[in-house]
A = this chain, B = another copy of it.
């Protein structure tokens, strides 16, 4: 039961597309991740997912438009909506999502990460 300093937590890892869990509450996880490049199109059938940008810029592509997020901005991707996160340069994001979320949603491939590490 300690406070979380977001920058301090980011200093503990440098790999991309590997979210770390920094807190849990009410069946939800707060995660931090470094993203760069393009992920894969996927959706989460039963979970809404929140992406908040801490540093850098993230584009969340939807099938009908792009959501461009800078630091201090966030977006909630409703369950069932296909999305593709893309970052030209490395971006630091905070995620808020149910514990049941799998990063690649309905798609299973080499990017699929079944569980995230607590830091």
Give A residues with C-beta under 8 Å from B.
Answer: 1-7, 23-28, 30, 47-50, 54, 67-69, 72-76, 78, 96-98
Contact partners of A7 in chain B: CB under 8 A = 72
Q: Smallest distance from the beta carbon of A78 to chain B beta carbons, Å? A: 7
Copies in the complex: 2
Whether B3 lies near A69 (C-beta < 8 A) is yes
Q: Which of B4, B47, B68, B75 contacts A26 (CB 8 A)?
A: B47
Whole-angstrom distance from the CB of A85 to the nearest CB of chain B? Answer: 13
Assuming the A-B contacts A3-B74, A74-B3, A75-B4, are A50 and B69 also in contact, with contact meaning beta carbons closer than 8 angstroms in the complex? no
Quote the shortest CB–CB distance from A84 to chain B (angstroms): 16
Q: How far is the CA of A25 from the CA of B96 in the complex (A)?
A: 9
A75 to B27, CA, bound (A): 16
Is A67 within 8 A of B3, CB to CB? Answer: yes
Complex-state Cα separation, A49 to B78, whole angstroms: 22
Complex CA–CA separation, A48 to B115 (angstroms):
22
- Closest residue of chain B to A68 (Cβ to Cβ) is B3
Question: Which of A3, A24, A73, A97 has the most B CB atoms < 10 Å from its CB?
Answer: A3
Known A6-B72, A7-B72; judge A78-B1 contact (CB<8 A).
Answer: yes
